[in-house]
């Protein structure tokens, strides 16, 4: 199997797994207990908090562990609306390219009397500062724009948006799930108020993540005041948290090297696909790249392949032993066209003809070459109406 859906999830690295294993067995203590086994677990959590804080570029006291970015995003919107309403800041700005966990959570605030404004990306899928600025009002309390998009990899103008929000004294929520491990998050330099990540997007375990928050939010899971300083109740997932911390430490240390390698793989895939389609550019084969960002750092390549239904190509590639996707894993089974791609200007029909190929540090050059060859074969057969089991 050749796995090229790393924007959906990544394999757990061996070093991360090795760091986690003791906390399933001999170091299995509850971090809330007083004896040494519990104290060891608590110390492991605090070490992971320091490692995660370095990824965010912040003080460890601003980092809180949870089940992942979806919970983190929901926590921000559910936890801040009361504060915003008390100050009369009942207007929220959100980009149309946000992950469902943020986009739908914002929508829920509309039921609580908040006014919502959505911001479209430009044709390259980038949410610009100017677009956000045009949407701001005197009563805007929160702006939500992700760092980079999970479907296209487009990197938004986060630094400029953060500066704008700081100038206007507006909270800035930034879903950093896809950016973590690919780009320096630096929440202080980017003036980010709330940031979310998930471990499984950067070679860590599923079901664990972290929320950076500059100001207190109302908790959505009640529990002991000793668990995450009373912000999130429930017995801590010590092995998972250790895995997140280990993945963050590895990401910080290896970011430049890994990104250079992944970028080379992505370029190799495009060259090989051109070669096997017998063209000098993908456009000559009726294949478009959604966004300019593919030439920059980042693991995602989003392709519009005219005349080929995205899901049909995903299934054909699967039959050939290659894993790619037709969009976000959260909406993979939906027949609805991608909200992100449509907001970039694609028609619903064109959006359904798109696939996402995403690379990792564990992929090899030989794998990428073979995957490109097989995609060329699959595209030609599907365009000819040949069914691929």
For the annotated catalytic residues, the residue numbers are 330
Residues 6+ apart with CB under 8 A from 3: 11, 323, 360, 363
The H or E element that residue 196 is part of is strand 194-198
> Edge-to-edge, what's the strand order for the sheet holding 115-119?
63-66, 209-213, 194-198, 171-175, 140-144, 91-95, 115-119
- Triad 306, 309, 315: Cα angle to 5°: 130
DSSP 359: -
Cβ proximity of 8 and 325 under 8 Å: yes
**DSSP assignment letter at 12:** P
Please say whether the beta carbons of 178 and 7 come within 8 A: yes
| Residue in the structure block whose two tokens are 């801590």 | 236
Distance between CA atoms of 302 and 215, rounded to whole angstroms?
Answer: 36
Identify the three-state secondary structure at position 380: helix
Q: Is residue 44 within 8 Å of 23, Cβ to Cβ?
A: yes
Closest to 150 (Cα-Cα) out of 119, 125, 169: 125
Q: Which helix (H) or strand (E) holds 171?
A: strand 171-175
């Amino acid at each position: 199997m050749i796995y090229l859906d790393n924007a959906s999830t990544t394999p757990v690295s061996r070093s991360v797994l090795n760091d986690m294993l003791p906390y399933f067995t001999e170091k299995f203590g509850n971090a809330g207990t007083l004896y040494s086994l519990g104290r060891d677990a608590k110390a492991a959590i605090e070490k992971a908090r320091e490692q995660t804080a370095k990824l965010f570029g912040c003080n460890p006291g601003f980092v809180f562990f949870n089940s992942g970015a979806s919970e983190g995003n929901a926590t921000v919107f559910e936890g801040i609306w009361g504060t915003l309403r008390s100050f009369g800041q009942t207007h929220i700005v959100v980009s149309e390219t946000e992950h469902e966990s943020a986009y739908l959570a914002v929508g829920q605030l509309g039921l609580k009397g908040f006014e919502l404004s959505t911001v479209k990306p430009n044709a390259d899928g980038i949410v610009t500062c100017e677009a956000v600025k045009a949407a701001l009002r005197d009563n805007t309390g929160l702006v939500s724009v992700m760092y980079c998009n999970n479907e296209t990899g487009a990197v938004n103008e986060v630094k400029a948006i953060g500066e704008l929000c700081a100038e206007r004294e507006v909270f800035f929520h930034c879903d950093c799930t896809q950016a973590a491990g690919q780009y320096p998050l630096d929440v202080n330099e980017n003036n980010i108020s709330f940031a979310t990540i998930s471990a499984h997007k950067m070679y860590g375990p599923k079901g664990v993540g972290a929320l950076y928050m500059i100001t207190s939010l109302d908790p959505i899971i009640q529990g002991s005041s000793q668990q995450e300083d009373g912000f999130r109740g429930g017995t801590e997932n010590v092995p998972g948290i250790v895995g997140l911390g280990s993945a963050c430490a590895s990401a910080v240390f290896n970011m430049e090297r890994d990104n250079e390698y992944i970028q080379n793989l992505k370029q190799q895939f495009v060259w090989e696909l051109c070669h096997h389609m017998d063209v000098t550019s993908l456009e000559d084969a009726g294949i478009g790249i959604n966004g300019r960002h593919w030439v920059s750092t980042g693991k995602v390549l989003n392709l519009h392949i005219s005349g080929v239904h995205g899901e049909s190509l995903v299934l054909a590639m699967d039959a050939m032993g290659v894993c790619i996707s037709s969009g976000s894993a959260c909406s993979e089974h939906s027949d609805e066209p991608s909200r992100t791609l449509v907001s970039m200007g694609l028609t619903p029909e064109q959006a359904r003809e798109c696939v996402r190929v995403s690379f990792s540090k564990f992929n090899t050059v030989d794998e990428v070459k073979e995957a490109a060859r097989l995609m060329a074969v699959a595209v030609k057969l599907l365009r000819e109406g040949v069914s691929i089991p």
